[in-house]
C-alpha cells in the first residue's frame, strides 16, 4: 500500500492567523476581521482539497516487456486516476529507478473523477540487474498551504542481458570429441543419451524400463545408454580488475562478456553443453548444461558480473583445473599480458581438457602488450587462440526492440516524423 502524507507547506499562515486573532481581541477593527476570515476560509478550503487528493489519487505502473538486452528499448505504461470530486491541477511524478538514462518523471494534471494515461520509453545502454521504482507523487492544494506526498514503495527487478552477437570463425579444439557425436560403446551408468533398448535381465534398475517398447513387444525392455558425448564447453572469464582497459561499451570487460554470451549461444545451438566460470567480486559458476534454459541462466549471470576481481588468471586456472572433468573444452577469455597464466593452460591439458584462448588485444584498447606475442607463446605449446581487437563489429543475433518514431502535426497540417534517437523518453510519452 502506498504511504500517503499531508503536511503544512507554509507554516507562516497559521502564525499570521494567530496574530490576527490576538489583534482582533485587543484592538478589533473591520479590516483585521475581514483578513482573518479570508485566511481561515482559504485555509479550510486548502485543507479539504489536500485531504481529498491525498486519499483519492492512485497510480498504476505496468512494464510492457519482461526482459531486455543491451540495445533494446524498455517501455512502461502509467495510469493516474483521481477519484476525488475536486480536480488535480498539477502533480509531479518522481521516478527513482536505477536503470541508467531512464526516468518516468512527469508533471501532469487530472480532472475530477478522471484518469490520465501515458507511456515512457528508454534505451537500455548497460547490462545489469536494475530496479524500476519506487515512485512518488508530489502535489498540493491550489493555494499552496498544504502539500501532499504519496510514496509507492513497490520495487521491481529488471534485467538487461548482454548482447548476443555473431562471432568471427573461432575454431574450438578438436583434440577431444567435439559436437554431439556418440561414443561407440555402451555404459551401465545413466547418462543423457539413450542408444538403444534391450530385453530386461535380472539386476536391471526399474528406472531404466522403456515403457513404449515394453508395450509394443509385450515384454519388459530397458534403455541402454551411451557414454555422454564429450566436447562440453567451459567458458572461463578473466575478470581481474588490474588487467582491464577502456570504458563503457569500448572496454575489455564488455567485450569479454559479449564474447562469452555469444560463444555460449553458438555452442548451445549445436546441442552441446556450456558452463561458465568467472571470479569478480564473488565466484560466479554455472555448471554445464544444454538447452534454452541454460542460455538464459548464463546470460543472467553475465548481466551481473563486473571486473572487480583480484584473482589473477593463473590462480583461477590452477584452482578449477582439477574440478572441471575430463574430455571437455575450456575457452579462456582474457586481456591479461602476464604470460604466467600459460602454465594454467598446460595444467588444463594435463587434466584431459582441451584449452583455447580468446585474446583481447590490449594495444587496441590503449594499453601495453601485444596479443600476437601471447598467441605465439600459446601456439608453441599447441594451444589455439583467437585475437579480438577494439572496434570489432558485433552484429546482434537476437532481434532488438527499437523505439517507435514520433509523429508531430504542424499548424499547417503537415506531419513530421521524428526519429527515436532525436527524442527523449519524455517527448515520446503522450505523442505517439
Q: How many residues does the chain have?
A: 432
Which H or E run includes 13?
A: helix 12-26
Q: Give me the CATH topology for the region 233-388.
A: Rossmann fold (3.40.50)
Which residue has cell 541402454?
A: 224
3-state SS, residue 60: strand
Q: What's phi and psi for 191, nearest 5 deg?
A: -130, -175
Is the separation of the CB atoms in 385 and 374 below 8 Å? Answer: yes
One pLDDT digit (tens) per residue for the chain, 432 residues? 889 999 998 888 889 999 999 998 998 999 999 999 999 999 999 999 999 999 999 999 998 877 788 988 889 999 999 999 999 999 999 999 999 989 889 999 999 999 999 999 888 989 999 999 899 999 999 998 999 999 998 888 889 999 999 887 787 774 344 343 444 434 444 444 455 788 888 877 788 888 888 888 888 988 876 544 456 899 999 999 999 999 988 999 999 999 999 999 999 998 889 999 998 878 889 999 999 999 999 999 999 999 988 899 999 999 999 988 888 899 999 999 999 999 999 999 999 899 999 999 999 999 988 899 999 999 999 999 999 999 988 888 866 666 555 556 676 667 666 655 454 333 333 333
CA 136 to mean position of chain CA atoms: 24
3-state SS, residue 252: helix
What DSSP designation does 403 have?
P
1-161 with 233-388: one CATH topology?
no
pTM: 0.73
Ordered by start, the domain boundaries in the chain are 1-161, 186-226, 233-388
Buried b (16+ CB within 10 A) or exposed e, 115-125: ebebbbbbbbe
CATH of 1-161, one of 3.40.50.800, 2.60.40.10, 3.50.50.60, 3.40.50.10540: 2.60.40.10
Q: Per DSSP, which regions of 272-352 are E strands?
A: 274-279, 283-289, 328-334
Amino acid at each position: 500500500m502506498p504511504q500517503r502524507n499531508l503536511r503544512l507547506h507554509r507554516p507562516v499562515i497559521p502564525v499570521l492567523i494567530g496574530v490576527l486573532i490576538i489583534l482582533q481581541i485587543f484592538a478589533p477593527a473591520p479590516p483585521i476581521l475581514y483578513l482573518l476570515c479570508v485566511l481561515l476560509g482559504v485555509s479550510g478550503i486548502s485543507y479539504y482539497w489536500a485531504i481529498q487528493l491525498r486519499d483519492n489519487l492512485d497510480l498504476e505502473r505496468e512494464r510492457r516487456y519482461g526482459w531486455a538486452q543491451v540495445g533494446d528499448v524498455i517501455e512502461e505504461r502509467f495510469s493516474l486516476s483521481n477519484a476525488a470530486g475536486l480536480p488535480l491541477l498539477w502533480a509531479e511524478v518522481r521516478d527513482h529507478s536505477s536503470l541508467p538514462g531512464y526516468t518516468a518523471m512527469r508533471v501532469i494534471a487530472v480532472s475530477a473523477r478522471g484518469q490520465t494515461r501515458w507511456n515512457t520509453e528508454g534505451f537500455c545502454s548497460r547490462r545489469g540487474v536494475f530496479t524500476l521504482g519506487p515512485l512518488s507523487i508530489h502535489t498540493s492544494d491550489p493555494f499552496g498551504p498544504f502539500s501532499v506526498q504519496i510514496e509507492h514503495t513497490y520495487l521491481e527487478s529488471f534485467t538487461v542481458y548482454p548482447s548476443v552477437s555473431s562471432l568471427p570463425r573461432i575454431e574450438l579444439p578438436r583434440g577431444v570429441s567435439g559436437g554431439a557425436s556418440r561414443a561407440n560403446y555402451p555404459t551401465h551408468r545413466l547418462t543423457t543419451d539413450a542408444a538403444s533398448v534391450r530385453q530386461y535381465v535380472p539386476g536391471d534398475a526399474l528406472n531404466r524400463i522403456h515403457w513404449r517398447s515394453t508395450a509394443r513387444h509385450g515384454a519388459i525392455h530397458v534403455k541402454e545408454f551411451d557414454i555422454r558425448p564429450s566436447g562440453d564447453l567451459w567458458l572461463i572469464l578473466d575478470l581481474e580488475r588490474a588487467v582491464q582497459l577502456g570504458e563503457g561499451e569500448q572496454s575489455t570487460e564488455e567485450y569479454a562478456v559479449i564474447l562469452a554470451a555469444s560463444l555460449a549461444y553458438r555452442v548451445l545451438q549445436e546441442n552441446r553443453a556450456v558452463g561458465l566460470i568467472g571470479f569478480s567480486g564473488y565466484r560466479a559458476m554455472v555448471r554445464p548444461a544444454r538447452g534454452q534454459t541454460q542460455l538464459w541462466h548464463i546470460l543472467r549471470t553475465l548481466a551481473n558480473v563486473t571486473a572487480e576481481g583480484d584473482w589473477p588468471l593463473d590462480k583461477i586456472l590452477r584452482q578449477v583445473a582439477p574440478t572441471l572433468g575430463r574430455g571437455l573444452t575450456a575457452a579462456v577469455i582474457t586481456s591479461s599480458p602476464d604470460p604466467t597464466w600459460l602454465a594454467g593452460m598446460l595444467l588444463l591439458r594435463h587434466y584431459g581438457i582441451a584449452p583455447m584462448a580468446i585474446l583481447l588485444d590490449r594495444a587496441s584498447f590503449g594499453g601495453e602488450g601485444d596479443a600476437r606475442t601471447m598467441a605465439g607463446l600459446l601456439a608453441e605449446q599447441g594451444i589455439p587462440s583467437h585475437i579480438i581487437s577494439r572496434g570489432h563489429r558485433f552484429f546482434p543475433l537476437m532481434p532488438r526492440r527499437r523505439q517507435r518514431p514520433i509523429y508531430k502535426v504542424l499548424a499547417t497540417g503537415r506531419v513530421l516524423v521524428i526519429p527515436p534517437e532525436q527524442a527523449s523518453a519524455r517527448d515520446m510519452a503522450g505523442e505517439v
